[in-house]
């Protein structure tokens, strides 16, 4: 029992004033552990033990059994029960509210108990306790996390500055220390402000969800108690080296679980509703952050891929030019155009990888035919590859006009692409495979003379119409929109009308 003004010990006093500061007191103003305090008659010294609420006498006024004097609890002389230490007479209390221990001890005990005993801690916090007190606890906790997290980095630069100064090549010890201290201060302040803002946003959202899903026993301050006083587990994120990678996840999950337990107890709500309302918001934010990270990574990879292709000079026009030249070379070597695009690969005029554009998401393993795929086909012995290509050609329907392999539609059927008179006819069209891509706009066409023509966006229809006029003049059937030609659905010549 200590003075609430100056913390002076008030045991074994007949006077009702503190000897140190003069403040008045009454034993009934203090709470004790049951049977831990002796209430002694001020007349004869007879002992009595408190068994009532807060360890008080029950009843508090009565006639002394030894001297017969009528006495009241507030008149008695108090001493700890024999064999009981003074600290054992005080009931369990919220460490952060204690006035008998040092600041660091109060903070550390609150952090530990908030993480390990959340249900007990919320019972020790009065519902009317200011949320500002809980916020101050988190400020201290976050500052400790920030200091420990950046201390290693700051120490590194300080040491570098010291050695540079000793070697005559740097600013020296003083500026290095000042720079390190300034960096630490800025980092701590920024981290604390950011953490408090985000945590209060979490509190507001969680309490709002509790209100709309069934209401709460107390106001938002009680929800703030639950979330703010359980932030101690985040200290694991300050563990050197590994904390920055795994600590936030371990500490974050632990924090959410402890906060949920406190909300269940403090707001008298069911565990399922508390879990959804407390863990739901940070879980949703984490999921969105992960999704954004994935999108960012894939975007970066796509950009890097496009940049690499551009740096290497590879474009849809160069791709179709290479294929058109291979068709021409095949015709010159075989005396006929290829019956199927796979023949270009089987006869080594073209690599299988060239049938997949570097500007699309298509892969060689995704291009399937028969019981194999283009990746496997590219590794076959030539005799086996020739047999597969021959079967692929036989599988094409009669009157075929165009067929697809990967990102290219082949339109050389029905004419000799090596004939100079057919130089302006299209033999191949760059058109992303619908099976692997969502953007299907054709980008370039390869001509029979081995050249290429870039297709401006939205002009495929006009250019295709012009090409079909040329084909009609040469007695060739019209070409369809290349986007409609699929690997399993080659385009065929329409039967003449009746």
**456-471 pLDDT, tens per residue?**
878 889 999 999 999 9
In a domain, 1, yes or no: no
| Residue 167 pLDDT > 80 | no
Q: How far is CA 4 from CA 24, 25, 76, 85, 135, in A?
A: 10, 8, 19, 20, 24
d(CA 243, CA 235): 9
Mean of all residue pLDDT scores within the chain: 86
**262-291 pLDDT, tens per residue?**
999 999 999 999 999 999 999 998 888 888
Banded model confidence at residue 498, pLDDT cuts 50, 70, 90 = very low
d(CA 273, CA 192): 30
Q: How many structural domains comprise the chain?
A: 3
d(CA 362, CA 430): 13
**400-457 pLDDT, tens per residue?**
999 999 999 999 998 888 788 899 999 999 999 998 888 888 889 999 999 999 888 7
Q: Which residue has the higher pLDDT, 244 or 400?
A: 400
d(CA 112, CA 110): 5
DSSP string, 221-287: HHHHHHHHTT-GGGGGGGSTTTIIIIIHHHHHHHHHHHHHHHHHHHHT--HHHHHHHHHHHHHHHHH
Looking at the chain, the number of H-run helices and the number of E-run strands are: 12, 13
Residues 106 and 96: beta-carbon distance below 8 Å: yes
| Residue 259 pLDDT > 90 | yes
82 and 126, same domain (yes or no) = no
Final residue before a domain boundary, out of 74, 91, 108 = 91
Residue-wise burial string across 386-422, b where 16 or more C-beta atoms lie within 10 A, e elsewhere: bebbeebbeeeeeebbbbbbbbbbbbbbbbebbeeeb
Q: What SS3 class is residue 409?
A: strand
* The pLDDT value given to residue 164: 54
* The pLDDT value given to residue 313: 56
What is the share, in percent, of the chain residues with pLDDT greater than 90?
A: 53
459 and 337, same domain (yes or no) = yes
Range of 37's domain?
A: 27-91
297 and 321, same domain (yes or no) = no
184 and 238, same domain (yes or no) = yes
Residue with tokens 């369990």: 92
CA atoms within 13 A on the CB side of 413: 23
* The pLDDT value given to residue 178: 60
Residues 373 and 367: beta-carbon distance below 8 Å: yes
**204-218 pLDDT, tens per residue?**
999 999 999 999 999
252 and 363, same domain (yes or no) = no
* The pLDDT value given to residue 326: 93
In a domain, 10, yes or no: no
Neighbours of 45 (CB within 10 A): 14
| Residue 483 pLDDT > 50 | yes
Residue 138: both structure tokens together: 């988190």
Please tell me the least confidently modeled range out of 95-99, 448-452, 487-491: 95-99
389 and 467, same domain (yes or no) = yes
Banded model confidence at residue 66, pLDDT cuts 50, 70, 90 = very high
446 and 398, same domain (yes or no) = yes
355 and 444, same domain (yes or no) = yes
């Amino acid at each position: 029992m200590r003075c609430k003004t100056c913390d002076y010990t008030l045991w074994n006093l007949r006077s009702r004033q503190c000897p140190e500061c003069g403040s008045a007191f009454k034993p009934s103003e203090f709470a004790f552990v049951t049977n831990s305090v002796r209430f002694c008659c001020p007349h004869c010294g007879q002992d009595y033990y408190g068994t009532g609420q807060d360890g008080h006498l029950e009843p508090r006024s009565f006639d002394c059994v030894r001297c017969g004097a009528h006495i009241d609890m507030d008149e008695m002389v108090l001493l700890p029960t024999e064999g009981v230490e003074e600290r054992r007479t005080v009931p369990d209390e919220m460490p952060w509210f204690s006035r008998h221990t040092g600041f660091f001890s109060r903070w550390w005990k609150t952090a530990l108990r908030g993480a390990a005993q959340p249900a007990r801690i919320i019972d020790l916090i009065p519902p009317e306790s200011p949320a500002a007190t809980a916020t101050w606890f988190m400020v201290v906790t976050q500052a400790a996390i920030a200091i420990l997290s950046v201390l290693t980095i700051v120490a590194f630069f300080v040491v570098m500055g010291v050695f540079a100064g000793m070697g005559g090549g740097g600013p020296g010890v003083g500026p290095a220390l000042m720079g390190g201290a300034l960096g630490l201060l800025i980092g701590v302040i920024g981290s604390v402000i950011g953490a408090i803002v985000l945590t209060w946003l979490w509190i507001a959202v969680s309490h709002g969800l509790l209100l709309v899903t069934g209401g709460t026993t107390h106001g938002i301050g009680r929800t703030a108690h639950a979330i703010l006083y359980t932030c101690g587990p985040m200290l694991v994120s300050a563990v050197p080296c590994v904390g920055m990678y795994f600590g936030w996840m371990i500490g974050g999950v632990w924090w959410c679980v402890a906060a949920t337990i406190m909300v269940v107890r403090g707001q008298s709500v069911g565990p399922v509703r508390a879990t959804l309302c407390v863990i739901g918001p940070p879980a949703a934010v984490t999921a969105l952050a992960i999704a954004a990270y994935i999108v960012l990574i894939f975007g970066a990879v796509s950009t890097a891929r496009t940049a690499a292709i551009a740096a290497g000079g590879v474009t849809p026009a160069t791709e179709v030019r290479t294929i058109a030249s291979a068709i021409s070379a095949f015709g010159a070597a075989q005396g006929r155009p290829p019956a199927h695009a796979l023949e270009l690969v089987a006869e080594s005029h073209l690599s299988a990888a060239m049938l997949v554009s570097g500007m699309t998401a298509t892969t060689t393993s995704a291009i399937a035919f028969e019981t194999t795929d283009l990746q496997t086909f590219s590794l076959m012995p030539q005799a086996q590859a020739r047999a597969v290509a021959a079967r692929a050609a036989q599988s094409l329907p009669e009157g075929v006009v165009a067929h697809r392999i990967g990102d290219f539609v082949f339109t050389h059927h029905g004419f000799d692409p090596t004939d100079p008179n057919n130089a302006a006819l299209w033999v191949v069209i760059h058109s992303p495979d619908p099976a692997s891509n969502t953007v299907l706009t054709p980008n370039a066409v390869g001509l029979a003379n081995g050249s290429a023509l870039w297709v401006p966006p939205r002009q495929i229809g006009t250019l295709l119409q012009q090409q079909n006029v040329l084909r009609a003049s040469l007695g060739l059937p019209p070409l369809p929109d290349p986007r409609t030609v699929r690997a399993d659905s080659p385009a065929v010549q329409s039967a003449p009308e009746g």
